[in-house]
Chain A
Amino acid sequence: DAGVTQSPTHLIKTRGQQVTLRCSPISGHKSVSWYQQVLGQGPQFIFQYYEKEERGRGNFPDRFSARQFPNYSSELNVNALLLGDSALYLCASSHHATGFYEQYFGPGTRLTVT
């Protein structure tokens, strides 16, 4: 079975630009969460989506937005990029039947802002 997939693998953007990251959950999982992992730190929660509705949001500015599609895939958008947005962006999917407790992570998208 395929795990969580993310695209692209790597991305280089310039300050002020906008970026879109994509995530496909494990088949049967209807919830997707996004995390930001800055080098040398643990991941920080950004969003959780379930059945296309935002279920939770972390302490991130409005420049960060996300959405979930009918096929449960998700996009994370970041506008007006700052140098501090450089990080590994991780997507995790979970199944509602387990109460979303078990979150399975994708390989991440490494974003570099110059």
Chain B
Amino acid sequence: AQSVTQLGSHVSVSEGALVLLRCNYSSSVPPYLFWYVQYPNQGLQLLLKYTSAATLVKGINGFEAEFKKSETSFHLTKPSAHMSDAAEYFCAVLTGTASKLTFGTGTRLQVTL
């Protein structure tokens, strides 16, 4: 079964610092991977997706992620954190013929001054 694991339920960075949120996947077939962001009391917003094209994927709000097959990873990065980046981030993998998204447990990003 395909799954994702997010390492670190809470990450705190200073404004202007590098953001690194970790996601590892488990899949017997080439996966389709996604990062979503959830602001308090809101739904999920798609940040970026990997669908077996370029391994470095650029998303919205300056985020990007690199698919590394050798490490089974799809970590999310942003060079310089902004206060508005504070939110919950979810990594997800598309599974099955029903286009079901299987989510990780989420990482809460805190940005401090």
Interface residues of A (CB under 8 A from B): 4, 31, 33, 35, 41-45, 48, 55-58, 90, 92, 94, 99-108
Q: Contact between A56 and B46 (Cβ–Cβ < 8 Å)? A: no
- The interface-forming segment of B54-62, B69-77, B94-102 is B94-102
Cβ distance A9 to chain B, nearest Cβ, rounded Å: 9
1/0 per residue B82-109: CB within 8 Å of A? 0000000010101011111111111000
Q: Contact between A42 and B106 (Cβ–Cβ < 8 Å)? A: yes
Q: Contact between A99 and B106 (Cβ–Cβ < 8 Å)? A: no
Residues of B near A103 (CB, < 8 A) are: 46, 99, 101
List 7 interface pairs A-B (beta carbons < 8 Å), by A numbering: A33-B101, A43-B44, A45-B98, A55-B97, A101-B32, A101-B51, A101-B94
Given A42-B106, A107-B43, CB of A56 within 8 Å of CB of B101: no
Q: Contact check: which of B43, B51, B99, B106 meets A108 at CB < 8 Å? A: B43
Q: Contact between A43 and B49 (Cβ–Cβ < 8 Å)? A: no
Given A42-B104, A43-B103, A56-B100, CB of A101 within 8 Å of CB of B43: no
Q: Contact between B99 and A101 (Cβ–Cβ < 8 Å)? A: yes
Distance of A31 Cα from B100 Cα, bound (Å): 12
Distance of A104 Cα from B103 Cα, bound (Å): 14
Residues of B near A58 (CB, < 8 A) are: 100
The residue of chain B having its C-beta at the shortest distance from the C-beta of A44 within the complex is B103
1/0 per residue B34-56: CB within 8 Å of A? 00100000111110010100000
Q: Contact between B43 and A106 (Cβ–Cβ < 8 Å)? A: yes
The residue of chain A having its C-beta at the shortest distance from the C-beta of B106 within the complex is A42
Residues of B near A105 (CB, < 8 A) are: 36, 43-45
Residues of B near A35 (CB, < 8 A) are: 101
Q: Contact between B100 and A102 (Cβ–Cβ < 8 Å)? A: no
Q: Contact between A56 and B94 (Cβ–Cβ < 8 Å)? A: no
Distance of A56 Cα from B102 Cα, bound (Å): 13
Q: Contact between A48 and B99 (Cβ–Cβ < 8 Å)? A: yes
Residues of A near B105 (CB, < 8 A) are: 41-42
The residue of chain A having its C-beta at the shortest distance from the C-beta of B36 within the complex is A105
Cβ distance B96 to chain A, nearest Cβ, rounded Å: 6
Q: Contact between B106 and A56 (Cβ–Cβ < 8 Å)? A: no
